[in-house]
Chain A
């Protein structure tokens, strides 16, 4: 059997896509490969049945740095991100791997399935909840939606959905009111467990949308986890969207994303010395420093997309009165100057 170490030092969202490539390599070529990985997020590979520990000093081992040049085709052909690494492996290893599922491949242990989720532990109740991501990393700030708009969605859905806010403490994640605030309090594995127990995910184009598709749903729930993505015009839905997700995009609505994603990096310069501040990487059409494509997406539209999952034969439900009350009691209300005046 051929021994390969697949290496990638990109962000967790990219690595979720690599998990799909590893799965599909084995499903398309059973018993022909032993695979190990080197990435910055080993938690994404826990319990993964396709991983065999390999030593790169072993002369039989091939170390393969993995990229996804297929992204260069994203505006030209209907190709999906899940095929990104698969296409690269096909080129490098002269294979014909086909995607077997339009999602990454994240595995939970039995203990993780049986255990209480972080929110259940917090509330002491099995109240349904959605995860909300109201920000992102500093590299591609063009993906950010304005925090007041996220807040408006939470406010509109206050009596229908309980939101749990997550985000890396080192990234941009302004606090929202009326949510359970788990910003900076979740490891990557915690996030996976949080997604497993979640009824839905609301986010920009980010790791959580990939986890929403890659992490299995609990028994008795719809196989496709609801997910609303505030996407704008940076990336075409054919590349980024998953079946069952509400991918709110503006491709075709504006001159700057008329025939595909703009793939630009930032709304305005951050002044951090990064080349992404260069004019060719900046949004060409902003409204009060928000990309116009993101401005076109209103809180009402997003709230509607979330609500579209409730009912319609799905078994999703909003928190009942007792759960809402319990959750509201448990949510630490930040003492703000507004409350005091």
Chain B
């Protein structure tokens, strides 16, 4: 589905945010951004279809325009099937999309990805965490280098946290 922003009739109000942020740029090459754009396009169309339905049902001559309503409902159904197909395609790679809906319009897509954490870092990449831990200075007669420090805790390398073969394929 083409990016709706490239169309003349594009309605910016129908284009949801992603995780509360503006959408990625058109034609973005990043894989996750491309997935975001695919979902955004479908939800933008759904919002458009919903706006059309609302306008039609509020029209004074609505009773004489039932055929139009049927057409719009069929269009909505087609878009929902497209949405489901996208969800099915990306579920195996851990993509979750949860629409935030207000008044029938999707205003935001909460999206998470299998290959990235919430901060957008690849799950298997190393990163640095810095913490400042104030330690009282020892009395003057004790030299710092004479003091022994040991840090213990989960995920901190220690003599017993050597590599473990978890669920390795049996030979």
B-binding residues in A (CB < 8 A):
5, 7-11, 14, 38, 40, 63-65, 67, 69, 71-76, 138, 140-141, 144, 146-148, 170, 172, 174-175, 260-264, 267-274, 288-290, 334-338, 340-341
Contacts and interface: CB of A to CB of B under 8 A. Distances in A.
In the A-B complex, the 6 residue pairs with the closest CB atoms: A7-B160, A289-B92, A263-B169, A273-B124, A272-B115, A340-B104
B165 A69 contact: yes
B94 A71 contact: no
B101 A273 contact: no
Nearest to B114: A270
A341 B53 CA distance: 9
B166 interface: yes
Nearest to A70: B170
Nearest to A175: B98
A146 B91 contact: yes
Contacts, number: 125
Interface centre among A38, A73, A260, A267 (most CB of B within 10 A): A38
Contacts of A65: 159-162, 164
Interface string B122-137: 1111000000000000
Nearest to B123: A272
A76 B104 CA distance: 57
Contacts of B8: none
B76 interface: yes
Given A267-B92, A270-B114, A138 B164 contact: no
A260 B170 CA distance: 10
Given A40-B155, A272-B116, A274-B123, A335 B50 contact: no
B46 A273 contact: no
Contact of A272 (B50, B124, B169): B124
B116 to A, nearest CB: 7
B106 interface: yes
Contacts of A8: 164
A267 B88 CA distance: 14
A290 B89 CA distance: 10
Interface of B: 31, 43, 46, 49-50, 53, 73, 76, 80, 88-89, 91-94, 96, 98-99, 101, 104, 106, 114-118, 122-125, 154-155, 159-162, 164-171
Contact of B167 (A71, A170, A269, A338): A71
A138 B91 contact: no
B113 to A, nearest CB: 9
Interface centre among B80, B94, B164 (most CB of A within 10 A): B94
Contact of B123 (A138, A175, A264): A138
A138 B124 CA distance: 10
Contact of A337 (B31, B101, B164, B168): B101
Nearest to A335: B101
A211 B13 CA distance: 48
Given A272-B115, A272-B124, A7 B94 contact: no
Contacts of B96: 172, 174-175
22 contacts: A7-B161, A11-B166, A14-B166, A65-B159, A71-B167, A72-B170, A72-B171, A138-B114, A146-B91, A172-B94, A269-B93, A270-B114, A271-B115, A271-B122, A272-B115, A272-B124, A273-B115, A289-B92, A337-B50, A337-B80, A338-B80, A341-B46
A273 B125 CA distance: 7
Given A10-B166, A71-B170, 20 more contacts: A7-B161, A8-B164, A9-B154, A11-B166, A65-B160, A65-B164, A71-B168, A138-B114, A170-B118, A172-B94, A174-B96, A175-B98, A269-B93, A271-B114, A290-B92, A337-B99, A337-B104, A340-B104, A341-B46, A341-B73
B117 A9 contact: no
Given A71-B167, A273-B124, A341-B104, A336 B160 contact: no
Contacts of B99: 336-337
A132 B118 CA distance: 24
Contacts of B168: 71-72, 263
Contacts of A288: 88
Given A341-B50, A341-B76, A341-B80, A76 B92 contact: no
B160 A274 contact: no
B99 to A, nearest CB: 6
Nearest to A334: B98
A264 B88 contact: no
Contacts of A264: 169
